[in-house]
Chains A and B, each alone.
Chain A
Amino acid sequence: MAEPNTPRHGGPRPGAGRPSSEPTKVIRLPLRLIPAVQALATAPLGTQVPRPDAARLTLPMFGHKVRAGFPSPADDYVEAFLDLNEHLIEHKDATFFVQATGDSMTGAGIQEGNLLVVDRALEARHGDIVIAVIDGDLTVKRLEKLRGKIRLVAENPAYAPIEFTDGQELTIWGVVTSVIQRIKR
């Protein structure tokens, strides 16, 4: 990296004088408008700045935290908010989302474009819908483990099952735990 060149004395000071970054112009304002204009110049984007001559309107704020008067009879019964992540995801670090393509699993309710929740922490068992690696691609099929025979079965009669004989290695990538389908509207 380049050696810093630190001016310690003299020379220009940042922020001093007229801003050099853009052209400026002096304007004359009625005194009562100055606070509003200053507020507008420094307010976060999208802030509504009240007109300076508008009467100030205050509205009461409502919320359970304010306990002036009669407490809400429901307060004791509030437990928590429902969190869909909590419902769908058991192992956060091991859960991945993938997108289904094709029609090989329509019989299991998996349509083209559906979002699949995949949990890699689960040990794949007979009957599970799994993500497996076939010829370097990720595929979704139902796992069959019967009498020592392992098959990956599509849920669509148009596709033949994939059989695994002894010595052929099947890599299971994860177990599908949910299918999320958006309803078009």
Chain B
Amino acid sequence: MRADHTIFLRPLNAGVTFDKTDPWELAADPRGMWTVQTGAMGKQNDYGVVSDGYGFEDSPDCERISGGKNSKGPYAVAIGRQANMLQWGFYCAPDRMTDSGKSAFLNAIVYMKQFDGHRPLTKKKGRSREWYQQYVAMVRGLDGKYKRYGASFRDYVKKQFPPAVIEKHGLDADALESWRLANVEYMVGADRWKFEIDADLKKLELSNRKPEFLDWLVERLKKDPKDPLAAKLAARYLGKQPHEVIPFLKANRTWLFFTDTGGFRWLVDENAKARESATAHGR
């Protein structure tokens, strides 16, 4: 939870306090939990919603503000924003919010006004590679906090890694973490749920999500406008033909960001681009 976020501080001090009397076994925040609403769950108030927190902030229109007690894990997003929409994932209406919850909610209304005209930059097309942190943590917990989920959970965790990796390392958490760190910059979505390692990137030792990738493309295409490897990677990560790459980067580089969840692509922050264009034209 970002207790220093504006919605907890301004204009009203929401007086966020943390309670440690009802610890949540999956909580990653040692401070405890903020009480947002009152009433017994499932009787006086209903279940809310959380969204996938891994890779949530890989586009500049998103910010994770708070998690919540849930079945998806400590990084899931209960309160978060994408562009002009803020999700308040807790169920209760104001008549069952705590005073602190009410103040934060009022602050959220004030906070959101500034996002008038913003559009979401990307749809959710798949999982982020950050999920591998969770998978390794799951492996570590197989004989601990996840033990009660039994053999089916063990199988589920195993299937999240490429078969060759499991064949080589088994469920050795340290070895799997070393594999993750060695390959994380070359990961790409194989489908909505699974990942693969981009062999071209690994051979080049080139991250697909760092600006050096764009520099590499420009350099290669300047030398040879039809460079087949540059063409392949430009299509994969920019969705551009080789002749489009340099003009596209020249026009948009300032606003580019890489998103895993948006399809393992470099995209343009159209909100920032429009804002800066309006400022430049005195609008």
Task: Report whether chain A binds chain B.
Answer: no
Interface, chain A (partner B; CB < 8 A): none
